Amino acid sequence: MIRHLPNLLSALRLLAAPLAAWLILDSHDTMALLVFAAAGLSDGLDGFLARHWHVTSDFGAWLDPAADKLLMLLCFAALLAAGAAPLWLVVLVVARDAGVAGGWLLIKGLGLAVPVRTLFLGKASTMMQILYILTVLLLLAFDLDALRLALGAAWACGLFAFLSAAAYAGLFLRGLFAGRPIVS
């Protein structure tokens, strides 16, 4: 049973994504906050369990980031639709994710031996996205009007998304021009 627990948690997070988005759209802000927070905690827990008990799998390596991205993208889209997130930020986050995914597909499609790795700025960007969504959901759940806080969080999230996109673009371009593995 333990060996399936990390994938089960990822699958539950995959199911939580549309639920969180629906809760945001239906103005159930406190429940949306709780679902998003529980999904975030499950992400940390499934990674810990997989590493601690050495129960990683190829399926889990695909499912975990897919669940994370779906949760983030659906929450950003729902926050935009609810008028709680700026369009420029959602476009930037979605474009960054699409660019990273497209870059990896291009590298793989061309058969280049660029190592698949997550960059520090990629992890930092994801953390800023989580913090942004949590901040906005907290403001909504507690009916707080903190325009400066929300705007500052949006700019910080946007900055990290931009820096991360630039870092991945550099990695992909070096791989395309070199046509061989990149050593950093």
Tell me the DSSP string of 45-71.
Answer: HHHHHHHHTT---HHHHHHHHHHHHHH
Tens of each residue's pLDDT in the chain, 184 residues: 677 888 999 999 999 999 999 999 999 999 999 999 999 999 889 888 888 888 888 888 889 989 999 999 999 999 999 999 999 999 999 999 999 999 888 888 888 777 667 899 999 999 999 999 999 999 999 999 999 999 999 999 999 999 999 999 998 888 788 765 444 4
- Which DSSP category does 180 fall into? S
Of 169, 184, 177, 181, residue with least CA distance to 103: 169
Of 9, 43, 40, residue with least CA distance to 133: 40
pTM of the model: 0.90
Phi, psi values for residue 84, rounded to 5°: -105, -5
Of 92, 95, 83, residue with least CA distance to 150: 83
| Tokens of residue 160, six digits | 């990290």
- H helices of the chain, in order, are 5-25, 29-52, 58-81, 87-109, 120-141, 147-178
**Alpha carbons 120 and 164: distance in angstroms, whole number:** 8
Report whether 13 contacts 68 (CB < 8 A): yes
